[in-house]
Amino acid sequence: MLENDFGLILASSSPRRIELLKRLEVQFTVIPFTIDESHIDYVEGESPYEYSEALAISKCMDVANKYPNSFVIGADTTVELEGLGRLGKPKDEEDAFNILKSLSGKQHNVITGICIYSPITKKIKSDYDISLITFKTLSDDVIKKYIATGEPMDKAGAYAIQGIGKQLVSEHKGSLSNVVGFPLALVYMMLCDCGFMSSVRFIDI
């Protein structure tokens, strides 16, 4: 290995992304990004899809600039509800309540932007995945009890489909790992395209 070459770096401290990347059975190092994503604003006319991809690029390059001899993965997940645009992580319990109330009984998109930097080409590849989620109609009491668990507070859209939040969901279409925050099939294909992985095998999405 070259100096400062960690092979593969995940530019995220998210336990969910760490656990999902382990499913690919590859060695990697966790080095979280240091940019303040809350200060990155929409570009006028930018869609939630473009925003998540752009933020994934920013996270990836924040780490890749420090470790240019390593492959680096950056990711960003957001929830998009028609008419309300991008729904990120709740600021507080009141915000979590309002987000969940807005999702109640409706369909929404979960979008994860992925960016991978390759030390071979010194270039990046970026893309995004989309899953469609349908929520049950939720009473105020159900929403308040869910918020009291603390689970919604660090999740885009204020819920975790892999946790207690699955009880709020009536249907999902698309990659489940994307809803959790790390679309495995897309990540695997991009790692192959970047030259990090070469063998083709089944990926549980």
Given the residues 5, 36, 76, 129, the one annotated as active site: 76
**Amino acid in position 112:** T
Whether 76 is catalytic: yes
Residue 58 to residue 32: CA distance in whole angstroms: 12
Neighbour tally for 21: CB within 10 Å: 22
Q: To which residue do tokens 């999405």 refer?
A: 205
Q: Which residues are catalytic?
A: 76
